[in-house]
Amino acid sequence: MRIISGLLRMIAALLALSQMAAGQTGPFQGGWTLQSGASALNFQSVKNVTKVESSGFATFSGTLDESGGLRIAVLLDSIDTKVDLRNVRMRFLMFETFQFPEAVITAQIDPAVLADLPQIRRKQIPLSYNLTMHGVSKTFDTVVTATLLTDDLVAVSSGTPISVAADDFGMTGGVKKLEEAANVTIIPSATVSFDFMFARNVEGAAPVVASVEPAPVALEAVGDFDLEACKGRFEILSRANSIFFATGSATVDPQSVPFLDQLVDIVSRCPGMTIEVSGHTDSVGRKSWNQTLSEQRAAAVTAHLVGKGIDKSRVVAVGFGPDRPVFPNDTAENKARNRRIEFAVVNG
């Protein structure tokens, strides 16, 4: 009986492979679509050595095409820490979503590794994948678990948590900004886990969706902000240090525009409030020259806001020169961080 059973399994596997070779059927036939409402993407971070915090992303999409090409895009603005201002910190200080809105995972899956899935229903699969985030692309290896629930529905989950280091994606500076903003220490890596549901694309049929309530989209709230929400956002934007000028110049560098456009949106949603835009410099050079430069840079940012439709009566530009450093002017890094534009509600 064991011999017969073994032969039957072998025949089934050979049939599956021959069907795939003939282009008749196969694990990727028709392509597959990620069912985001029935899926989860989470990560765990550690602060102050021992405190573990779990967060996730609410908005992501994905496809697996007929050739086995996988692509998953994660909208980083949908970061969900369960705390509004913590979400804002992650967007502006860590992920810098105004410049890098998505993380994208791609992989090429060999159909042969899934040939026996219809028979065994569940298996672990080695996977080499590419992650592009914050302008950097890296290739990693992991193991995922695939579970065939029906012929047209498969669950794919992380076999073990996946470690992602901030330094691999040029985000160490963002970690430092988060630490200063929240007055904590943060381990500069996170462990990512996922549980994805994919449905086969069946021609003429509605997509298969598991009966799970969709996750809320943890994007920026719509409508106007109250005073505390505005104050909190301007404090965070002041730490971003994402407005750039050429050395000794008050001309806004074009790379600053995505950040400034986000600033325009926030100012416009703080109605009735007067916003102070303040310029600051390091201590290099004559104090009078730095004072003038700080005033000119604040005025340039204010002009951008007004040019985008913000009422000029709601924005006040001031310069403080080198008088309000946030760090000692003793290293090139600290000097760069002292050269900054800050924002605050001064009347609301």
pTM: 0.86
- State the span(s) of the chain assigned CATH 3.30.1330.60: 227-347
Of 329, 324, 336, nearest to 247 (Cα)?
336
- State the span(s) of the chain assigned CATH 2.40.128.110: 27-200
State the residue for tokens 């969706």: 209
Q: How far apart are CA 108 and CA 334, in angstroms?
A: 44
Listed in sequence order, the residues at least 6 apart from 115 whose beta carbon sits closer than 8 Å to its beta carbon are 13, 16, 17, 20, 27
Q: Give domain 227-347's CATH superfamily.
A: OmpA-like domain (3.30.1330.60)
For the chain, report the end-to-end CA distance as a whole number of angstroms. 83
CATH fold of the domain at 27-200: Lipocalin (2.40.128)
**Sign of the CA dihedral running 67, 69, 70, 71:** negative
CA 81 to chain centre: 12
In this structure, the number of other CB atoms found within 10 A of the CB of residue 23 comes to: 9
Task: Find out whether 203 and 31 touch, Cβ atoms under 8 Å.
Answer: no
**Tens place of pLDDT per residue across the chain (348 aa):** 444 444 444 444 434 433 433 344 578 889 999 999 999 999 999 999 999 999 999 999 999 999 999 999 999 999 999 999 999 999 999 999 999 999 999 999 999 999 899 999 999 999 999 999 999 999 999 999 999 999 899 999 998 889 999 999 999 999 999 999 999 999 999 999 999 999 999 875 555 444 444 444 456 667 999 999 999 999 999 999 999 999 899 999 999 999 999 999 999 999 999 999 999 999 999 999 999 999 999 999 999 999 999 999 999 999 999 999 999 999 999 999 999 999 999 986
Q: How far apart are CA 341 and CA 319, in angstroms?
A: 9
